[in-house]
Amino acid sequence: MKNLLKLEELALFLFSLYILYYLDVAWWYYLLLFLGPDISMIGYAAGNKAGAALYNLFHHKGIAAILFVAGFILDHHIMMLAGIILFGHASMDRIFGYGLKYKRGFKFTHLGTIDKKSENEKN
């Protein structure tokens, strides 16, 4: 089941790449896709609770979808691109096991605990 979920996330990530290609955006938007949302980890400097909240804000697919749809409705290109970037980045992170964070700390996610390979491999 775990591999099936990773394949699903890979398909969603590739879809986000296709949308960026389809919209004919500049090459540096692809860099934002890979790196941009991770700036949210700076929230952990203020503690686990603030870090988790900020990280989750930048990695929540629902928020990404809302941004994209709002940008489409309002004909706001940058808002659409932000939604695509957040969506694609969240999918990429989930391929590698980085899920939405719990307040206990960075390694505690909705996909399991990071660093516990044996526990994550069982899922």
Distance CA 56, CA 58 (A): 5
pLDDT for the residue numbered 120: 45
- 116 pLDDT more than 90: no
Domain layout of the chain by residue ranges = 2-122
What mean pLDDT comes out for the span 110-120? 68
Give me the chain's average pLDDT, please: 91
Query: 80-100: per-residue pLDDT in tens?
Result: 999 999 999 999 999 998 989
The DSSP-derived string for 17-40 is HHHHHHTT--THHHHHHHHGGGGG
pLDDT for the residue numbered 94: 93
What mean pLDDT comes out for the span 9-36? 94
Q: Identify the H or E element spanning 108.
A: strand 105-109
